[in-house]
A and B are shown apart, each in its own frame.
Chain A
């Protein structure tokens, strides 16, 4: 069958799954007084439509920042404004100042879900399709299978179309940036990434790889000639993009500082809720929050984060390659997720989307990671009553990956891109003979563990003296997996040699 009809079918399938998940519950449904992220987005539409720009980020009588104050950069606010404009045309009650708080109805839910659906369709999905079509050294069927697996990734679908957020916009823009960079359109890529950054400040997790890769490219071109020109152009592009996004705020320093204060809430503590990162997992053994002062916590987390991502970034600057860039996106984002400050469990999506980009290079590990990342979202999904979508989309994703890539057969050291690493460990050659089987068994063990924990979390009430047993268990298990993945990705990056071009076409 032709490539285009297969891709159309894939996209239609992805859209159907997204809309079907939309029919389910959302964050904070029917839970006054604060509700959840859905109410937050509706509130931002109310604020941006009814109040002047000067008041969006400030605590005024009309804008109570304690009730879901805006804490994303300006592009989110502009997007909310556009949605509010459309909402006003359909039913003004949805965005009426003050009186629309906690507004919940079926038509309104339909409208909100449609906004997410349209944003996904316009930004994220075309980026994925074009990315898959531009993959080199892959057959047409493999391209379509990659697109299918990426679009069926449950984490993004459940968070965006279930819990209710607009991650597909910022992640889609970042994906456009990667796409542009892979075609050597550096300026366009920078613009796209700046837009992504100005949509959600969490994209900073991806900023270091972008910076190092482009810097490395400039160095390669020679800092005395073309390199310097490129550097200047990139700097100029970034400044202009930022200026364009922040234009309505003018040159008022007070405004800009307030926005920055809202974006980076330093006084909120090392972590909130149960999240699968190192600080939360360590706090099971030692209560870090009580042992160290907040300022030391901040310094410690920054130090550890930067130490862990330094090797990959240095390598990327010295040897900029597209493959290294994609892997660095993964490892840097994962370092940030594991060690950074005030991380939410939804931030795992910032790691998952780059992993989706390398799914056709290391299908086995990518699938494993994506399943663990979806599993780590389970406590959040259970709170939102999204158990059924989770229970259906996750096995469906696994089935799609098994069918497309036959991952269980691709577990050898070569398939896992560990050939170079294994060659340097000559002493352990005998161990590597049964490497594929060991890896396969570990994968199946991990899957069983996740399945059991999922069933227990959903079906069994926790014991009285340990009410948070299951969320903590999920977080700790996911964290351990993520640490191992961090080590794995760093190994692949650091042992990646220049001679990959001679590898035969698979």
Chain B
């Protein structure tokens, strides 16, 4: 199993060992969930354990469909990493800042995708830890800057980085490491488009191309034959809309993150504000990032679970994001034996999340509007079409990418809607709080 030349080595013992290793590392995730549940204040003290927010949160995190599918079937170690992230969030909620910072630094050096949420951590630590006090009206007290805290944080980050990158720095291989970590030659979208803004952009480009060809605005010979949806991971140019460069995506992401970061800086509302900023950073990076994997949606869904059991508005947004985000993971499992598993697990999670959150916020107005409900229900016919009807039609040979395209674009609508709704709710909440204070 450990011999380098043995590519595709898959004996039963190897598979068993690897699967078991994922399960065992998940114990960290379980511990992190336990710590997060402790941070939730159970204002709605229910007698029935099934109705307690902590129980609901525990189930939403431990039985998260996306995590189960990606970790234990598709095979990755995200449970362990999300355990680290949730543990660092819990530590920050418990005001144990240095531990939180250490855990996040370690996490960053495990998987650099967590750089999506680094701004939230950075600003929050700077604002709430390095500046130790606020003025009476909540604004920043510049004089309370603590050099000690800054030094400690810097020391932690440097230490962890040295431990992680040290050997490669000594060997002079740092540029190679960086180029492996951030492969910008891989194209705007993955083989299967993650349901973000660029998926909509690509779809729009394709639609305009077809329209243009039909109306003879475009010359058919000048368009490259290869399709971005062919399933290959390469760089392609857009035909009608302007092509997108890595720099452009970086700028878009930066602009998208800015409002939430500003909110966190000017009016930190403690751990809850930090969580909101974290989710928004993750979602914004997901929306505009370069070569985003659809699995990155989990980065937004899991922290949002923590918010969803506390406020009805967040619960509504969570239901939309989780359902569409999880649905967009379906193409990861494409073999026939896995079809019932993914449908059953998805139904299990969806039924549970809807019924538990509905019963938790029973006394408030319904969590979803009728339009949102219709959108989510339409996922069922979409799934039936993509998995059952389409393979039996003659189009399968000529347009094999159509199910992927449909899934991606439909989910992108849902994810974008959830992102905008969350942003608006965070921004309007701040202004209303400011008005209350004045």
Contacts and interface: CB of A to CB of B under 8 A. Distances in A.
Interface string B318-357: 0000000000000000001100110011011001101110
Interface residues of B, number: 16
Nearest to B341: A19
A9 interface: yes
Contacts of A266: none
B337 A23 contact: yes
Interface string B32-67: 000000000000000000110000000000000000
B337 A5 contact: no
Interface residues of A, number: 17
B57 to A, nearest CB: 15
Do most interface residues of chain A lie in helix, strand or loop, or is the interface mixed?
Answer: helix
Chain B CB within 10 A, most for which of A12, A20, A110, A117: A12
Chain A CB within 10 A, most for which of B51, B340, B359: B340
A424 to B, nearest CB: 41
B336 A110 contact: yes
Contacts of A65: none
Contacts, number: 39
A303 B348 CA distance: 51
Nearest to B50: A1
Interface string A1-27: 110011011001101100110010000
B347 A107 contact: no
A20 B341 contact: yes
Interface in A353-372: none
A5 B336 contact: no
Contacts of B50: 1, 6
B24 to A, nearest CB: 15
A5 B348 CA distance: 10
Nearest to B338: A23
Interface string B353-371: 0111001000000000000
Contacts of B337: 23, 106, 110
Contacts of B359: 1-2
A107 B336 contact: yes
Contact of B351 (A5, A20, A23): A5
Interface in A74-122: 106-107, 110, 117
B202 to A, nearest CB: 34
Contacts of B352: 5, 9
Interface of A: 1-2, 5-6, 8-9, 12-13, 15-16, 19-20, 23, 106-107, 110, 117
Given A2-B355, A12-B344, 17 more contacts: A1-B51, A1-B355, A1-B359, A2-B359, A5-B351, A6-B355, A9-B352, A12-B347, A12-B351, A15-B340, A15-B344, A16-B341, A16-B344, A16-B345, A19-B340, A23-B337, A110-B337
Closest 10 CB pairs of A and B: A5-B355, A12-B348, A16-B344, A19-B340, A1-B359, A1-B50, A15-B344, A8-B351, A12-B347, A1-B355
30 contacts: A1-B50, A1-B51, A1-B355, A1-B356, A1-B359, A2-B355, A2-B359, A5-B351, A5-B352, A5-B354, A6-B50, A6-B355, A9-B351, A9-B355, A12-B344, A12-B347, A12-B348, A12-B351, A13-B348, A15-B340, A15-B344, A16-B345, A16-B348, A19-B340, A19-B341, A19-B344, A23-B337, A107-B336, A110-B337, A117-B340
